[in-house]
Amino acid sequence: MAFEGLADRLQNTIQKIKGKGKVTEQDVKEMTREVRLALLEADVNFKVVKDFVKNVKERAVGQEVMESLTPGQQVIKIVKDELSQLMGGEESKIAVADRPPTVIMMVGLQGAGKTTTTGKLANLLRKKYNRKPLLVAADIYRPAAIDQLETLGKQLNMPVYSQGTDISPVEIAKQGLEKAKEEHLDYVLIDTAGRLHIDGELMDELVQIKEAVNPDEIFLVVDAMTGQDAVNVAESFNDQLDVSGVVLTKLDGDTRGGAALSIKAVTNKPIKFAGMGEKLDQLEVFHPERMASRILG
Protein backbone atom coordinates (compact mmCIF):
# COMPACT_ATOMS: atom_id res chain seq x y z
CA MET A 1 0.00 0.00 0.00
CA ALA A 2 1.09 3.56 -0.67
CA PHE A 3 2.95 5.53 1.98
CA GLU A 4 3.41 2.54 4.27
CA GLY A 5 6.81 3.47 5.64
CA LEU A 6 6.01 7.15 5.83
CA ALA A 7 2.72 6.52 7.60
CA ASP A 8 4.42 4.30 10.19
CA ARG A 9 7.15 6.78 10.91
CA LEU A 10 4.97 9.85 11.02
CA GLN A 11 2.38 8.16 13.18
CA ASN A 12 5.13 7.17 15.61
CA THR A 13 6.41 10.71 15.69
CA ILE A 14 3.07 12.36 16.24
CA GLN A 15 2.10 9.81 18.87
CA LYS A 16 4.85 11.25 21.04
CA ILE A 17 3.50 14.77 20.82
CA LYS A 18 -0.19 13.97 20.77
CA GLY A 19 -1.02 14.06 24.46
CA LYS A 20 1.19 16.98 25.36
CA GLY A 21 -0.55 19.79 27.23
CA LYS A 22 2.35 22.05 26.44
CA VAL A 23 4.51 21.95 23.35
CA THR A 24 7.91 23.60 23.65
CA GLU A 25 10.10 24.83 20.87
CA GLN A 26 12.35 21.89 21.64
CA ASP A 27 9.44 19.47 21.13
CA VAL A 28 8.70 21.05 17.76
CA LYS A 29 12.33 20.86 16.80
CA GLU A 30 12.53 17.19 17.64
CA MET A 31 9.32 16.40 15.84
CA THR A 32 10.26 18.25 12.68
CA ARG A 33 13.63 16.53 12.64
CA GLU A 34 11.85 13.19 12.57
CA VAL A 35 9.34 14.39 9.99
CA ARG A 36 12.25 15.52 7.81
CA LEU A 37 13.92 12.11 8.01
CA ALA A 38 10.65 10.31 7.34
CA LEU A 39 10.00 12.38 4.22
CA LEU A 40 13.52 11.95 2.91
CA GLU A 41 13.27 8.24 3.47
CA ALA A 42 10.00 8.26 1.51
CA ASP A 43 12.02 9.69 -1.40
CA VAL A 44 10.49 13.14 -1.32
CA ASN A 45 12.47 15.77 -3.20
CA PHE A 46 14.95 17.36 -0.73
CA LYS A 47 13.99 20.93 -1.51
CA VAL A 48 10.34 20.07 -1.01
CA VAL A 49 11.23 18.53 2.36
CA LYS A 50 13.15 21.63 3.38
CA ASP A 51 10.25 23.96 2.63
CA PHE A 52 7.77 21.61 4.24
CA VAL A 53 9.71 21.44 7.50
CA LYS A 54 10.19 25.20 7.52
CA ASN A 55 6.46 25.79 7.14
CA VAL A 56 5.53 23.31 9.85
CA LYS A 57 8.10 24.75 12.22
CA GLU A 58 6.97 28.33 11.70
CA ARG A 59 3.34 27.51 12.18
CA ALA A 60 3.90 25.16 15.11
CA VAL A 61 6.09 27.55 17.08
CA GLY A 62 3.90 30.59 16.58
CA GLN A 63 0.73 28.55 16.57
CA GLU A 64 -2.68 30.06 16.85
CA VAL A 65 -4.41 28.70 19.95
CA MET A 66 -7.55 26.70 19.35
CA GLU A 67 -9.44 25.85 22.46
CA SER A 68 -10.93 22.65 21.13
CA LEU A 69 -7.54 21.03 20.64
CA THR A 70 -4.64 20.28 22.97
CA PRO A 71 -1.32 21.84 21.93
CA GLY A 72 -0.14 18.42 20.80
CA GLN A 73 -3.21 17.93 18.64
CA GLN A 74 -2.72 21.37 17.15
CA VAL A 75 0.76 20.51 16.02
CA ILE A 76 -0.57 17.35 14.42
CA LYS A 77 -3.25 19.35 12.65
CA ILE A 78 -0.57 21.64 11.26
CA VAL A 79 1.39 18.69 9.90
CA LYS A 80 -1.78 17.27 8.35
CA ASP A 81 -2.72 20.61 6.76
CA GLU A 82 0.74 21.07 5.34
CA LEU A 83 0.81 17.52 4.02
CA SER A 84 -2.51 18.10 2.30
CA GLN A 85 -1.31 21.44 0.88
CA LEU A 86 1.81 19.72 -0.38
CA MET A 87 -0.34 17.38 -2.46
CA GLY A 88 -2.46 20.21 -3.82
CA GLY A 89 -4.87 21.06 -1.02
CA GLU A 90 -8.22 20.85 -2.74
CA GLU A 91 -9.39 18.03 -4.98
CA SER A 92 -9.12 19.34 -8.53
CA LYS A 93 -12.00 19.17 -10.97
CA ILE A 94 -11.94 17.78 -14.47
CA ALA A 95 -12.56 20.32 -17.27
CA VAL A 96 -15.83 20.51 -19.15
CA ALA A 97 -15.71 22.33 -22.50
CA ASP A 98 -18.29 25.05 -23.12
CA ARG A 99 -19.15 23.25 -26.32
CA PRO A 100 -18.71 19.48 -26.27
CA PRO A 101 -16.72 17.43 -26.84
CA THR A 102 -14.22 18.05 -24.08
CA VAL A 103 -10.82 17.00 -25.39
CA ILE A 104 -8.32 15.26 -23.15
CA MET A 105 -4.84 14.38 -24.33
CA MET A 106 -3.10 11.59 -22.49
CA VAL A 107 0.70 11.80 -22.49
CA GLY A 108 3.51 9.96 -20.75
CA LEU A 109 6.40 7.57 -21.13
CA GLN A 110 5.93 4.02 -22.33
CA GLY A 111 5.01 1.66 -19.54
CA ALA A 112 3.73 4.40 -17.26
CA GLY A 113 0.21 3.08 -17.71
CA LYS A 114 -1.08 5.62 -20.24
CA THR A 115 -3.24 3.32 -22.34
CA THR A 116 -4.69 1.53 -19.33
CA THR A 117 -5.39 4.88 -17.68
CA THR A 118 -7.14 6.14 -20.81
CA GLY A 119 -9.57 3.22 -20.49
CA LYS A 120 -9.94 3.71 -16.76
CA LEU A 121 -10.63 7.40 -17.16
CA ALA A 122 -13.26 6.76 -19.83
CA ASN A 123 -14.88 4.28 -17.47
CA LEU A 124 -14.85 6.79 -14.62
CA LEU A 125 -16.26 9.56 -16.80
CA ARG A 126 -19.16 7.36 -17.76
CA LYS A 127 -19.79 5.89 -14.32
CA LYS A 128 -19.30 8.93 -12.15
CA TYR A 129 -20.29 11.75 -14.47
CA ASN A 130 -22.56 9.95 -16.91
CA ARG A 131 -20.48 11.06 -19.92
CA LYS A 132 -20.05 9.45 -23.32
CA PRO A 133 -16.38 9.22 -24.27
CA LEU A 134 -14.60 8.31 -27.48
CA LEU A 135 -11.18 6.71 -27.23
CA VAL A 136 -8.71 7.74 -29.93
CA ALA A 137 -5.72 5.54 -30.74
CA ALA A 138 -2.94 7.94 -31.70
CA ASP A 139 -0.02 5.80 -30.56
CA ILE A 140 1.02 4.48 -33.96
CA TYR A 141 4.58 3.47 -33.07
CA ARG A 142 3.62 0.66 -30.78
CA PRO A 143 1.08 -1.30 -32.85
CA ALA A 144 0.08 -3.27 -29.77
CA ALA A 145 -1.08 0.00 -28.24
CA ILE A 146 -3.88 0.27 -30.81
CA ASP A 147 -4.98 -3.32 -30.16
CA GLN A 148 -4.79 -2.67 -26.45
CA LEU A 149 -7.06 0.36 -26.72
CA GLU A 150 -9.48 -1.53 -28.94
CA THR A 151 -9.63 -4.34 -26.43
CA LEU A 152 -10.30 -1.83 -23.68
CA GLY A 153 -13.05 -0.30 -25.82
CA LYS A 154 -14.67 -3.73 -26.21
CA GLN A 155 -14.42 -4.45 -22.50
CA LEU A 156 -16.03 -1.14 -21.72
CA ASN A 157 -18.42 -1.28 -24.62
CA MET A 158 -17.21 2.11 -25.74
CA PRO A 159 -16.27 3.43 -29.20
CA VAL A 160 -12.63 3.56 -30.27
CA TYR A 161 -11.37 5.60 -33.20
CA SER A 162 -8.32 4.05 -34.87
CA GLN A 163 -6.80 4.36 -38.32
CA GLY A 164 -3.92 1.91 -38.14
CA THR A 165 -0.34 3.08 -38.30
CA ASP A 166 0.00 4.55 -41.81
CA ILE A 167 -1.36 7.94 -40.95
CA SER A 168 0.06 10.69 -38.79
CA PRO A 169 -1.02 10.86 -35.15
CA VAL A 170 -1.96 14.50 -35.66
CA GLU A 171 -4.44 13.47 -38.40
CA ILE A 172 -5.84 10.67 -36.27
CA ALA A 173 -6.39 13.08 -33.39
CA LYS A 174 -8.13 15.61 -35.63
CA GLN A 175 -10.32 12.99 -37.28
CA GLY A 176 -11.17 11.48 -33.91
CA LEU A 177 -12.36 14.86 -32.72
CA GLU A 178 -14.55 15.27 -35.81
CA LYS A 179 -15.99 11.82 -35.28
CA ALA A 180 -16.91 12.67 -31.68
CA LYS A 181 -18.65 15.82 -32.86
CA GLU A 182 -20.63 13.92 -35.49
CA GLU A 183 -21.71 11.31 -33.00
CA HIS A 184 -22.48 13.81 -30.25
CA LEU A 185 -20.07 12.22 -27.81
CA ASP A 186 -18.98 14.47 -25.00
CA TYR A 187 -15.41 13.47 -24.24
CA VAL A 188 -12.51 12.60 -26.52
CA LEU A 189 -9.59 10.84 -24.88
CA ILE A 190 -6.53 10.78 -27.11
CA ASP A 191 -4.00 8.09 -26.28
CA THR A 192 -0.72 9.48 -27.63
CA ALA A 193 2.60 7.75 -28.19
CA GLY A 194 5.10 7.25 -25.41
CA ARG A 195 8.76 6.38 -25.64
CA LEU A 196 11.14 4.82 -23.20
CA HIS A 197 12.84 8.17 -22.72
CA ILE A 198 11.89 11.74 -23.34
CA ASP A 199 13.16 12.90 -26.73
CA GLY A 200 12.71 15.88 -29.00
CA GLU A 201 10.81 14.00 -31.66
CA LEU A 202 8.22 12.74 -29.19
CA MET A 203 7.75 16.20 -27.73
CA ASP A 204 7.43 17.82 -31.19
CA GLU A 205 4.71 15.39 -32.11
CA LEU A 206 2.83 15.98 -28.88
CA VAL A 207 3.09 19.74 -29.35
CA GLN A 208 1.67 19.33 -32.88
CA ILE A 209 -1.25 17.28 -31.61
CA LYS A 210 -1.86 19.87 -28.91
CA GLU A 211 -1.94 22.65 -31.50
CA ALA A 212 -4.22 20.65 -33.80
CA VAL A 213 -6.91 19.72 -31.27
CA ASN A 214 -6.56 22.43 -28.63
CA PRO A 215 -7.23 20.09 -25.69
CA ASP A 216 -9.15 21.17 -22.60
CA GLU A 217 -6.90 18.98 -20.49
CA ILE A 218 -3.52 17.38 -20.96
CA PHE A 219 -3.03 14.62 -18.44
CA LEU A 220 0.45 13.43 -17.83
CA VAL A 221 0.53 9.80 -16.74
CA VAL A 222 3.48 8.94 -14.52
CA ASP A 223 4.46 5.80 -12.66
CA ALA A 224 4.58 6.44 -8.91
CA MET A 225 6.94 3.51 -8.44
CA THR A 226 9.70 5.42 -10.22
CA GLY A 227 9.82 7.98 -7.41
CA GLN A 228 11.90 11.05 -8.16
CA ASP A 229 12.28 9.96 -11.80
CA ALA A 230 8.54 10.45 -12.11
CA VAL A 231 8.98 13.97 -10.79
CA ASN A 232 11.73 14.70 -13.33
CA VAL A 233 9.60 13.29 -16.14
CA ALA A 234 6.72 15.47 -15.00
CA GLU A 235 8.93 18.53 -15.02
CA SER A 236 10.13 17.90 -18.59
CA PHE A 237 6.69 17.17 -20.02
CA ASN A 238 5.27 20.18 -18.25
CA ASP A 239 8.00 22.48 -19.58
CA GLN A 240 7.15 21.48 -23.14
CA LEU A 241 3.43 20.96 -23.01
CA ASP A 242 2.15 22.91 -20.04
CA VAL A 243 0.10 19.93 -18.85
CA SER A 244 -3.04 20.53 -16.83
CA GLY A 245 -2.73 17.69 -14.39
CA VAL A 246 -0.99 14.50 -13.43
CA VAL A 247 -2.30 10.96 -13.12
CA LEU A 248 -0.15 8.95 -10.76
CA THR A 249 -0.33 5.27 -11.59
CA LYS A 250 0.67 2.22 -9.57
CA LEU A 251 0.18 3.99 -6.29
CA ASP A 252 -0.98 0.57 -5.08
CA GLY A 253 2.55 -0.73 -5.42
CA ASP A 254 4.41 2.36 -4.29
CA THR A 255 5.16 1.97 -0.62
CA ARG A 256 7.16 5.18 -0.34
CA GLY A 257 5.05 7.88 -1.93
CA GLY A 258 7.86 10.28 -2.86
CA ALA A 259 6.41 11.17 -6.24
CA ALA A 260 2.95 11.86 -4.84
CA LEU A 261 4.44 14.18 -2.27
CA SER A 262 6.79 16.05 -4.59
CA ILE A 263 5.04 16.49 -7.94
CA LYS A 264 2.72 19.36 -7.06
CA ALA A 265 5.46 21.35 -5.34
CA VAL A 266 7.97 20.82 -8.16
CA THR A 267 5.69 21.27 -11.19
CA ASN A 268 2.86 23.28 -9.65
CA LYS A 269 0.45 20.95 -11.43
CA PRO A 270 -2.11 19.02 -9.43
CA ILE A 271 -2.40 15.27 -9.18
CA LYS A 272 -5.90 14.70 -10.47
CA PHE A 273 -6.21 10.92 -10.37
CA ALA A 274 -4.42 7.97 -8.85
CA GLY A 275 -4.21 4.47 -10.33
CA MET A 276 -4.67 1.91 -7.58
CA GLY A 277 -4.45 -1.33 -9.56
CA GLU A 278 -4.61 -2.88 -13.01
CA LYS A 279 -8.38 -3.22 -13.21
CA LEU A 280 -10.50 -0.74 -15.12
CA ASP A 281 -12.31 0.49 -12.05
CA GLN A 282 -9.13 1.09 -10.11
CA LEU A 283 -8.70 4.78 -10.83
CA GLU A 284 -9.54 7.21 -8.07
CA VAL A 285 -10.04 10.94 -7.97
CA PHE A 286 -7.07 12.17 -5.98
CA HIS A 287 -8.06 13.79 -2.68
CA PRO A 288 -5.05 15.49 -1.05
CA GLU A 289 -6.81 15.92 2.25
CA ARG A 290 -7.95 12.31 2.51
CA MET A 291 -4.52 11.14 1.48
CA ALA A 292 -2.93 13.25 4.23
CA SER A 293 -5.35 11.78 6.75
CA ARG A 294 -4.57 8.30 5.54
CA ILE A 295 -0.86 8.93 6.06
CA LEU A 296 -1.21 10.40 9.51
CA GLY A 297 -3.82 7.90 10.68
Task: List binding-site positions for GTP.
Answer: 108-115, 191-195, 249-252
Q: Is 272 in the site for ligand GDP (CB under 6 A)?
A: no
Contact 110, 222 (CB under 8 A): no
Helices (H) and strands (E) in the chain, counts: 11, 8
Binding residue for ligand GDP, selected from 20, 91, 253, 285, defined by CB under 6 A? 253
- Which residues are known binding-site members? 108-115, 191-195, 249-252
Applying CB under 6 A, what is the total number of residues that bind ligand GDP? 17
Which letter, b or e, does each residue of 14-43 get, where b requires 16 or more Cβ atoms within 10 Å of its Cβ?
beebeeeeebeeebbeebbebbbebbeebb
At its nearest, how many Å lie between ligand GDP and the CB of residue 153?
Answer: 14
**283 CB contacts (<8 Å, ≥6 apart)?**
117, 120, 121, 123, 124, 247, 273, 274, 275, 276
Binding residue for ligand GDP, selected from 71, 101, 113, 153, defined by CB under 6 A? 113
Q: Which stretch binds ligand GDP (CB under 6 A): 16-24, 57-65, 196-204, 272-280?
A: 272-280
Contacts with ligand GDP, 190-229, as mask; x by CB under 6 A: ----x-----------------------------------
Integer Cα distance of 93 and 98 in angstroms = 15
CA 41 → CA 7, 27, 290, distances in Å? Answer: 11, 21, 22
For residues 17 and 276, which CB has a smaller minimum distance to ligand GDP in the complex? 276
Binding residue for ligand GDP, selected from 71, 153, 257, 275, defined by CB under 6 A? 275
Binding site for ligand GDP (CB under 6 A): 108, 110-116, 194, 249-250, 252-253, 275-278
